[in-house]
């Protein structure tokens, strides 16, 4: 049973007598993040740490989380990847109340499904590249399943993030955010503690790309990744790959066999982002010396690798297809592009009606020159059609990266009534109209 309880501002909350203590508390407040020895980022964070605290919740067991907003702006916390009622999902557009500046709220919900999820702010940033997802307001959610999908010796959570953005002219003629600092868990390469491992261990990495707008490619020198889950959902075919690609808001869970003792670098494959700091040292017990990095010579990633084997079942005959065309609107060489879905920008975008129990196919057509990590709230979708491939099945996600100029199809079952937000997870795109709201009839 999912419910919202006492999601109110401080004054009203004071009227609630003898409220039970929450299971968790999150304070949203300004924070000086030392990303390097001589570099401090002034940002906003959860509980004065970046990433925010890891919340380990049990699938199906109700939880209460008190959130206080000590900033000067309204806030809201989105529980990304969970199937929650709109009132607590954490999107104002769906009806979740904002937490006013100086106010607080109590989120009460029953977390599901199990897997690697995350929580983050869901506010408008616009041209302010120190608000919204540009800040350190993100943290890991681990919804514990009854059975773990893989056996491992250590579980490590890593968040990729980009900082100190500014709007600069980009190759497509518009302004886009560009970043000076890139971090893993809030630190640049060489600053902070290494990941300490032992020879023979199996490490389960849970990697989140919390970047406001950047796709990241991650490799671990001397090792490979066995991808076991995407966006927290087990994949039908775990596969060993040399590198991971994560679009904003995507998560990858991967096993690594620690069978190559030494000191190694795990970091961004692209040189300029590694140079901006996105890396972390992985150090075997007893190993010393300079961490080694093997520069890959190409970028490789394909969702298809992880799809179920065998021919995909045909779509259910009553599946309803909803075509969604994404395009940009030029706003000047000195501005960020505006974005449209089927020709309209939010809040003018259409609000397609969903019928509970009905299967839907979303036919994405990205007619722009940009890639888009699109996200559906409160549901998971199944990848069905990727560019250049026959129908696939078995991969469940809540974010998929649409390459520029491509078409992709996903399916989902409308099984969670209520307003359901769909948007590009690139902060500057969703702020500029790339958003729409499904509603149930």
Partner 1 sequence: MSKWVCLFALLAALSSATQLRAQGNYEIQVYGADTIEPKSTMIELHSNYTPDGQKSQVDGVYPTNHQLHETLEITQGLTSWSEVGFYVFTSWQNGHGVQWVGDHIRPRVRVPDSWHWPVGVSVSTEVGYQRAVYSRDTWTWEIRPIIDKYMGRWYWAVNPAFERTWHGPDTKQGVGFSPAVKLSYDFNPKVSGGVEYYADYGRLGAFDSLHDQQQQIFLVTDLNVSPKWEINIGVGVGPTANTDHWIIKGILGRHFSWKKPSLLD
Count CA atoms closer than 13 A to 139's CA, side-chain side.
24
309 scored as a contact of partner 1 (CB under 8 A): no
Among 295, 309, 314, 390, binds partner 1 (CB under 8 A): 295
DSSP category for residue 133: G
Q: Are 160 and 278 in contact (CB under 8 A)?
A: yes
Q: Which is nearer to partner 1, 127 or 389 (CB)?
A: 127
Among 3, 42, 61, 333, binds partner 1 (CB under 8 A): 333
Q: Among 141, 169, 8, which Cα is nearest to 63's? A: 141
Using the rule CB under 8 A, give the single segment among 19-27, 40-48, 98-106, 265-273 that binds partner 1: 265-273
Interface with partner 1 in residues 167-206 (CB under 8 A):
168-169, 171, 173, 175, 178, 180
Q: Which is nearer to partner 1, 196 or 333 (CB)?
A: 333
Interface with partner 1 in residues 152-171 (CB under 8 A):
166, 168-169, 171
Tokens 């943290």 — which residue? 139
Q: How many residues are listed for the chain in this entry? A: 441
334 scored as a contact of partner 1 (CB under 8 A): yes
Q: Which is nearer to partner 1, 76 or 175 (CB)?
A: 175
40 scored as a contact of partner 1 (CB under 8 A): no
DSSP category for residue 86: H
Contact pattern for partner 1 over residues 212 through 241, marking x by CB under 8 A: ------------------------------
Annotate 138-170 with b (16+ C-beta within 10 A) or e (fewer): bbbbbbebeeebeebeebbbbbbbbbbbebeeb
- Output the smallest distance, CB 381 to partner 1, in A: 28
Q: Report the distance separating Cα 419 and Cα 414, nearest Å.
A: 11
Q: Which is nearer to partner 1, 48 or 329 (CB)?
A: 329
- Torsion, Cα 182 183 187 189, to 10 degrees, reads -80
Q: Which is nearer to partner 1, 113 or 296 (CB)?
A: 296
> What pairing do the DSSP bridges indicate for beta strands 407-413 and 381-385?
antiparallel
Q: Which is nearer to partner 1, 329 or 359 (CB)?
A: 329
Six-digit token string for 330? 């030029």
Binding site for partner 1 (CB under 8 A): 166, 168-169, 171, 173, 175, 178, 180, 269-272, 295-299, 330-335
């Amino acid at each position: 049973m999912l419910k919202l309880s006492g999601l109110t501002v401080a004054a009203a909350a004071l009227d609630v007598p003898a409220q039970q203590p929450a299971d968790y508390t999150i304070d949203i407040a300004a924070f000086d993040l030392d990303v390097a020895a001589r570099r401090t980022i002034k940002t906003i964070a959860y509980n004065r740490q970046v990433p925010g605290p890891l919340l380990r919740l049990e699938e199906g067991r109700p939880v209460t989380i008190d959130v206080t907003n000590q900033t000067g702006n309204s806030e809201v916390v989105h529980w990304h990847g969970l199937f929650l009622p709109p009132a607590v999902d954490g999107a104002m557009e769906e009806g979740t109340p904002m937490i006013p500046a100086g106010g607080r709220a109590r989120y009460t919900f029953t977390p599901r499904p199990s897997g690697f999820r995350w929580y983050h702010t869901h506010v408008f940033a616009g041209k302010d590249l120190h608000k919204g997802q540009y800040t350190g307001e993100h943290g890991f959610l681990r919804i514990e399943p009854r059975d773990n999908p893989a056996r491992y010796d250590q579980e490590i959570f890593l968040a990729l993030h980009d900082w100190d953005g500014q709007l600069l002219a980009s190759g497509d003629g518009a302004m886009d955010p560009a970043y000076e600092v890139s971090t893993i868990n809030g630190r640049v390469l060489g600053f902070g503690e290494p990941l300490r491992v032992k020879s023979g261990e199996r490490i389960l990495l849970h990697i989140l790309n919390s970047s406001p707008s950047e796709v990241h490619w991650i490799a671990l020198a001397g090792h490979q990744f066995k991808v076991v889950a995407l966006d927290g959902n087990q994949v039908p075919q775990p596969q060993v790959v040399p590198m991971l690609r994560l679009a904003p808001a995507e998560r990858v869970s991967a096993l690594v066999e620690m069978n190559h003792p030494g000191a190694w670098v795990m970091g961004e494959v692209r040189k300029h982002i590694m140079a901006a700091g996105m890396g972390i040292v992985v150090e075997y017990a007893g190993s010393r010396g300079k961490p080694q990095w093997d520069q890959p010579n190409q970028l490789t990633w394909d969702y298809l690798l992880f799809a179920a084997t065998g021919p995909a079942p045909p779509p259910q005959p009553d599946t309803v297809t909803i075509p969604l065309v994404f395009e940009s609107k030029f706003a000047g060489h000195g501005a960020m592009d505006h974005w449209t879905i089927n020709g309209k920008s939010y809040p003018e975008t259409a609000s397609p009606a969903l019928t509970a129990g009905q299967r839907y196919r979303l036919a994405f057509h990205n007619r722009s020159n940009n890639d888009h990590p699109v996200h559906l709230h409160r549901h998971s979708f199944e990848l069905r059609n990727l560019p250049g491939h026959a129908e696939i099945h078995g991969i469940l996600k809540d974010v998929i990266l649409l390459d520029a100029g491509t078409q992709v199809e996903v399916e989902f079952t409308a099984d969670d009534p209520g307003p359901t937000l769909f948007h590009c997870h690139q902060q500057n795109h969703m702020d500029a109209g790339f958003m729409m709201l499904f509603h149930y009839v």
